[in-house]
Amino acid sequence: MKRLLWPDSLRGRLIILALCCLVLFQAVNTATLFFVQHQQRMNRITLLASQTAEWYSILNGQSPEQREKTLETLGYLYRHKDWRLEFDIAPSFPGPAFQPGTEGPIAHARKLFADALPPGMAPSPPFHAGFVRHGEKQGMQFAVQLDDGNWLCITRHRAATLRQEKLQHGVFLAEFLVFFLIMFCLLYRETRQLEKLRAGAEQFGESPESAEKLSEEGCREIRKTAQSLNRMRGRVLNSIEERDRMLSALRHDLRTPLTRLHLWAEEAEPEAVRDKLLENARQIQDMVSQSIELAGSLNTTEKQVHMDIAAFVESVADDYAEEGRNVALANTELFNSTVRTRPTCLRRCLSNLIENSLKYAGAAEVSLFRDQNGLCIEVGDRGPGIPEDKLEKVLEPWFRVENSRNRETGGSGLGLAIAKNMATLSGAQLSLRNREEGGLCARIRFPA
């Protein structure tokens, strides 16, 4: 309930605040309108009460013929555009025409009528006032009893009918909705740019090398923020390029000493010492080569293309099957499903995961499916798995699990880190989990 009333997102909060401001604005306008209408109604009551007293003093002493002519003249004179008066002589008080709940205005009108009577007249005659409604018409009516027992009824009709008032209310509501829609569109447009900025910054944080330059659009604050992040991106990329150049130079400079060490080791005696020296030289050379590969695993010039993912996964599995290696294609439910990716990077990622399963479990199962979050490629095995608290750490460079799945096979701890970087370049995310039936499952997910 709290999240509904006060959302967590900036867009939701701005929309709630805008809605509250509009509601408050409309409430103040409505209250002001009702107050003005009330004052206008009281002014009309005051005016009609004084006029009724004047017409009563005139008509009370006239004969029926004179009254008829006078009423005809008055009816002609008071046919105004905004309102009109109707005059009528009734033998009895038309009480049922009055609306209930008008005691306050009636008492006020009676007092005004009595105060407006000319001096010297008899005490105030029977007087009634109220608000009447005849079909679509509504108005205010005063009735006063003449000396001969007849009732003088004066009705002031409003020009606006009930249907017109409903139309005005509809226009009032439509204006509110239009203003809210315009404000919603403006807020959505600005917060959309902010969301793009957030997504770009998040992508840059996960993979600086493959992140694209942030779009410098939107309001001034968002543009300035995007420009600052782009400058930071440039400095980070320069640092990464310097690192790559340093590693490349290191690899080149170490090649000669490693070759010399390898030649000396081949001449060493006894044989056990020679084997250890050669093994250490090989490990050093492998570590340098894999470090260079890791450093370049987030740099690529390959363009993204649309490709049939099911056919791609089948081709990778078939290549291993032709080599006689135990790689099974467990499930390919998707046909004619395309993704936008870098095929070479995705192949390296998938191959690293398959090699990892073959290395530690002797077999690999590849499957392809779609869930609510996107399209997934899974590589599973029946090996020992990885402790739950280290599933994320093994994706970091140089991390090796103590007493790992097969310690004798060795490994530098870079294979999964490189696979993760290749997945990022492919536009996907790599995650690991232990299977309930035993073994490890690596999932490459392309977002929906």
Percent of the chain with pLDDT over 90: 6
Residue ranges making up the domain that contains 425: 305-447
Q: Is residue 59 part of a domain?
A: yes
Mean pLDDT of all residues in the chain? Answer: 78
Write out pLDDT tens, residues 231-287: 888 888 888 778 777 777 776 777 777 777 777 777 777 877 777 777 777 777 777
Asked if the structure places residue 197 within a domain, the reply is no
CB atoms within 10 A of CB 124: 15
pLDDT at 352 over 70: yes
Contact between 67 and 146 under an 8 Å Cβ cutoff? The reply is no
Question: Which of 213-217, 237-241, 305-309 shows the highest mean pLDDT?
Answer: 305-309
Indicate whether 289 belongs to any domain.
no
Asked whether residue 117 is assigned to any structural domain, the reply reads yes
- Residue 120 within any structural domain of the chain: yes
Q: How confident is the model at residue 91 (pLDDT cuts 50, 70, 90)?
A: confident
Residue, of 136 and 407, whose pLDDT is higher:
136
**What pLDDT, on a 0 to 100 scale, did the predictor assign at position 221?**
80
- Report whether pLDDT(144) > 80: yes
> pLDDT-based confidence at 377, cuts 50/70/90?
very high
Tokens read off for 250: 């290191």
pLDDT band, residue 405 (cuts 50/70/90): very low
CATH assignment of the domain containing 409:
3.30.565.10
pLDDT score of 354: 92
Point out the domain boundary residue: 125, 159, 193. 159
CA distance 228 to 163: 59
Would you say residue 379 has pLDDT above 90?
yes
Q: Give the span between the Cα atoms of 346 and 379, in whole angstroms.
A: 13
Last residue of a domain, one of 159, 175, 201: 159
CB 361, CB 382: distance < 8 Å: yes
CA nearest 42: which of 140, 134, 118?
140
Tokens for 226, please give them. 């995007």
How many structural domains comprise the chain?
2
Residue 258 lies in a domain: no
Q: Which two tokens stand for residue 296?
A: 């370049």
For CA atoms 257, 258, 263, 266, the dihedral sign is: positive
pLDDT at 4 over 80: no
> Is pTM beyond 0.75 here?
no
What's the pLDDT tens digit per position in 92-137? 776 645 555 555 666 777 777 777 777 766 566 887 777 766 655 6
- Coil/strand/helix, residue 324: coil
Which of 120, 135, 159 finishes a domain? 159
The reply to whether 166 falls in a domain is: no
Does residue 403 register a pLDDT over 60? no
Position of tokens 């017109």?
A: 164
pLDDT (tens digit, 9 = 90+) per residue, 380-400?
A: 998 888 888 888 888 887 777
Q: Which residue has the higher pLDDT, 344 or 37?
A: 344
What single letter denotes the amino acid at residue 384?
P
Residue 168 covered by a domain: no
